[in-house]
Structure formats: C-alpha cells, structure tokens
Chains A and B, each alone.
Chain A
Amino acid sequence: MQISPDQWIIVQWGPVTLNASIVFTWFTMALLTVGSWLITRRITDSHEMSHWQNLLEVIVTGTQDQIRDVTGQDPKHYIPLIGTLFLFIAVSNLLAIVPGFRPPTGSLSTTTALALCVLIAVPVFGIAKSGVLGYLRKYIRPTPLMLPFNIIGEISRTIALAIRLYGNIMSGTVIVAILISVAPFFFPVVMQLLGLLTGLIQAYIFAMLAIVYISSATADNHNIIPSHETGAT
C-alpha cells in the first residue's frame, strides 16, 4: 500500500521522475490561479456582484479579521503569506473527495516545504519590524542561558508543524483505504466526511500557528497583550 503520494510515479523520463505529489501540487496551484483570475476579471464595487466575487470577499475579509485579532497589527503585510498557506492547504485537502486525487499535503515533503516557508518567514518579518539586532536580541531573552532552548524551540516547532499536517491528512487516506477493504461503501463515506472536517480545521490551524509564530517575533515587548484586554493601565 502506498501511504505517500511520493511513491506513486506517474511519468518517468530516464532520471527524471514525476510523482503524484508534484502533479497534484501544480494542479491545485493552477486551479487556485485560474479560478481567482476568472473571478476577478469582472470585479465590481457595486452592490450587484457575482456570487463568486462575494465568496472571495468573504475569504479575504475573514482572513484579514483573523490576522488582525491575533497580531493586533495591520494585516496588510501578512495576508499574502498566510492567505496563500491557508488557501493552498484548504483546497488540496478538500479536493481529497475527488476520485483519483491524492492530496499533496499527505506527503511529508510537501508539508516540510510549507513548514520551511514559515521557518524563513518568521525571521524575515521579525527583522523587517525591529532590525537585525532587535530580532536577535529576542533569542537571549529573558537570560542568555535560554539561547539554546530558544533555538531548539524554533526547530522543533517547525518539525511539529510539518508532521501535524502530514499525519492528519495521511491518516485520513490510510483509514479510508483500510476501511474499503474491511467494510466497503458506507463507512469509508463517513470517514471521508470526517476527513473534510479535519482537512479544513488543519488548514485553519496551520495558518493560525504561522501567524502566531510570526506575531511572536514581531510583537513589541511592551504590549504583547493589549492593555484593554488585561484591564491594566
């Protein structure tokens, strides 16, 4: 049994192999790009808008609101990264119900690539906000003794981010495959429904954790918690 779409080789030209992860990743990206291009081609600011434009506006404003709630900053700089992560993971997880489609997020290489994007984005946003020295100073806070633990924490949370998404999506695929051989038709359908729910929640959680990590690197040290929430002056 193939537990990863990496092992499903579609085309092979000599040393170059094209596996299912790559094909379905590009398929998802093409779907997102062509879909948004088709919808935003006839965009309008009147009250008479198309259903699809309404859908896109709900997604964009919802993402903006979530980012603003978590970071307490202007979401303008973060929405390209966070929105792309969320949309890519959500669409590839939801397409899992299409027969023949293997979600590329069920492969450890895809999720590792996504987690590495977050690992790199954290210092980039942190340095853009507070400068190189200001960002590096966060590693020796509260004391320089914490330096190794901060570095280990940075690496381990990246690994956790990758394994969490991979484990959830891969478990959905494997459970359906096992149930098809044990109890065909009914139970696999129920588990597919559950898989849709977990897929969407995992996409939300991945984007949420990414924005939490980024906001912890960009937050000012004096008002990590806004004062109106704690009640302090």
Chain B
Amino acid sequence: MDNVGLIGAVSIITAGLTIAVGSIGPALGEARAASQALQAIAQQPDEANTITRTLFVSLAMIESTAIYCFVVAMILIFANPFWDAVSKAG
C-alpha cells in the first residue's frame, strides 16, 4: 500500500474510533447530570428555574468534550493536513 492509501485508511479508522470512544464518556456524564437534575426538580419544584439554568450550562460543559472529538474526526476526514503534505511531495 502506498503512502496515500495508508494515510487514508488510518485517518478513517482513527476518525471512527475518535467519535466512538469520545462519545461514550460525555453520554454517561450527561445522563447522570440530567437524572440528578430531574430528581432535584422533583424534590424542589420551586427551584426549577435555577436548576434548569445550571443544568444547561453544565450540559454544555460536558458536551464540549464530545464536540472536541467530533471536530478532530471532521478534521481527519475533510481537512486532513497529511493529504496536502503527501500530494505536494508526490
């Protein structure tokens, strides 16, 4: 297999692995945060506004790790820097 094929295969496999592994952690974390927030709202419905706002902000924080993985996967597939290096050299 020449260099271009090798880079393509490794990039695609790595992109799949990145998004697969990188979404497990945030999924577990978001599920835990949401279930705790639901429990808190059920116990104290008066504080629902504060809890919802804090939940949104913390969900965004947790989700950003998954977004980083997604960005890396997208870069590997659509904007891979090694493609340019190989295509210039060859």
Contact = CB atoms under 8 A, between A and B. Distances in A.
A3 B56 contact: no
Interface residues of B, number: 15
Contacts of A174: 74, 78
Nearest to A2: B78
A164 B70 CA distance: 10
A3 B67 CA distance: 15
A167 B60 contact: no
Contacts of A201: 56, 60
Interface stretch (A139-147, A184-192, A202-210): A202-210
A3 B53 contact: no
A170 B67 CA distance: 10
Interface in A1-52: 1, 3
A69 interface: yes
Contact of A166 (B53, B57, B71): B71
A216 interface: no
Given A170-B71, A201-B60, A208-B53, 10 more contacts: A70-B53, A164-B64, A166-B71, A167-B67, A167-B70, A167-B71, A171-B70, A205-B57, A208-B56, A208-B57
